[in-house]
């Protein structure tokens, strides 16, 4: 993308930007999960696999 705009950037510079910015972006976009109570249940479920319902 930078080359399309006529800007020359070395691959090591892009790597440094990624190492610096990716943790910040991950923290901003990752949703905090709600706490689960002491007790919880999961019901049995069916899913559709290749058009057929499987248990």
Domain ranges of the chain: 1-31
Write the pLDDT tens digit of every residue in 7-51. 888 889 889 999 999 999 888 888 777 777 787 777 778 888 899
User: Is the Cα dihedral 25, 28, 29, 35 positive or negative?
Assistant: positive
Give the C-alpha separation, 20 to 7, whole Å. Answer: 20
- Model pLDDT, residue 22: 92
- Model pLDDT, residue 12: 92
Above 80 in pLDDT, residue 4?
Answer: yes
Q: Confidence band (pLDDT; 50, 70, 90) for 2? A: confident
E strand intervals along the chain? 47-49, 52-54
């Amino acid at each position: 993308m930078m080359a399309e705009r006529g800007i020359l950037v070395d691959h090591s510079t892009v790597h440094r930007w990624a190492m610096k910015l990716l943790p910040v972006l991950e923290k901003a976009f990752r949703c905090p999960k709600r706490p689960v109570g002491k007790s919880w249940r999961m019901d049995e479920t069916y899913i559709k696999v290749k058009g057929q319902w499987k248990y």
